[in-house]
């Protein structure tokens, strides 16, 4: 019997997630004992639907149909931004569905609400990819390091600014030159505000502080 999931959003992250789940299905099943099946994909952009990455019959614009489907047990939110992502995650938890997300902004802004909703409805909220990307920081804190008393959090939490600062120091580039290069290589967004003004780092630190010290410091 397969574990059916729904993907919310089919941009770069959504497409990548779908490819990993389908192309590595046998590996995932062997390691977890679970057969993962993408049952529905919530997406409005016709270009994403027509991309050919996933069968068109999987797509829907009706989120209520996903919540009402008793066979879907996991909702993976990859829409980005605060809304409607935050509301969609809360509604999924309230509907008794587990939630997975890389959305650091939404998790940081709703950390307490998401955890309370998950606890109240007997499900789980997972957001490993919201901090550190492929580096299992959060899981490590809550498993391998659970008996440790953590005294501080220190590290590089934003790849874009790390790249820019490195280029400025090692190659004597100006900030503008380093940023332009980072954008050309895909390390920085066309609008790099969240990265270069520290918003991305602040969201990640909000999550890390809550995980390490049990203190939720909401940014806004």
pLDDT digits (tens, 9 = 90+) for 87-141: 999 999 999 999 999 999 999 999 999 999 999 999 999 999 999 877 889 999 9
Give tens-digit pLDDT for 10-33.
Answer: 998 999 999 999 999 999 999 999
- Classify residue 192 as exposed, middle or buried by CB count within 10 Å of its CB (0-12, 13-18, 19+): middle
pLDDT of residue 220: 65
Query: 55-59 — which CB contacts under 8 Å span 24+ positions?
Result: 59/10
Domain 2-142 bears CATH identifier 3.40.50.720: yes
Give this prediction's pTM.
Answer: 0.90
Bridge partners for 40 per DSSP: 6
Give the count of beta carbons closer than 10 Å to the beta carbon of residue 170. Answer: 8
Q: What is the pLDDT of residues 148-181, one digit of tens each?
A: 999 998 888 898 999 999 999 999 999 999 999 9
Cβ–Cβ contacts within 10 Å for residue 152, how many? 6
Q: Kindly name the residue from 15, 104, 167, 204 that is annotated as catalytic.
A: 204
Q: What's the chain's average pLDDT?
A: 94
Q: In terms of C-beta density within 10 A (0-12 exposed, 13-18 middle, 19 or more buried), how is residue 83 classed?
A: exposed
Q: Is 15 a catalytic residue?
A: no
Domain ranges of the chain: 2-142, 159-197
């Amino acid at each position: 019997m397969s574990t059916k999931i729904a993907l919310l959003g089919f941009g770069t992250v959504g497409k990548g997630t779908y490819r990993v789940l389908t192309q590595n299905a046998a590996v995932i099943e062997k390691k977890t004992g679970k057969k993962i099946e993408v049952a529905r994909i919530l997406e409005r952009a016709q270009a994403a639907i027509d991309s050919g990455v996933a069968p068109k019959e999987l797509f829907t614009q009706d989120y209520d149909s996903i919540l009402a489907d008793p066979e879907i047990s996991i909702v993976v939110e990859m829409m980005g931004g605060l809304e409607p992502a935050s509301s969609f995650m809360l509604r999924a938890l309230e509907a008794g569905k587990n939630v997975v997300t890389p959305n650091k902004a939404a998790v940081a802004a709703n950390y307490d609400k998401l955890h309370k909703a998950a606890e109240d409805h007997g499900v789980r909220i997972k957001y490993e990819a919201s901090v550190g990307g492929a580096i299992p920081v959060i899981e490590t804190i809550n498993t391998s390091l659970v008996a440790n008393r953590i005294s501080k959090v220190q590290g590089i939490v934003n790849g874009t600014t790390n790249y820019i600062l490195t280029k400025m120091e090692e190659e004597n580039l100006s900030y503008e030159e380093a940023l332009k290069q980072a954008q050309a290589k895909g390390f920085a967004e066309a609008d790099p505000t969240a990265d270069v003004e520290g918003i991305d780092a602040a969201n990640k630190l909000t999550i890390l502080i809550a995980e390490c010290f049990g203190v939720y410091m909401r940014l806004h």
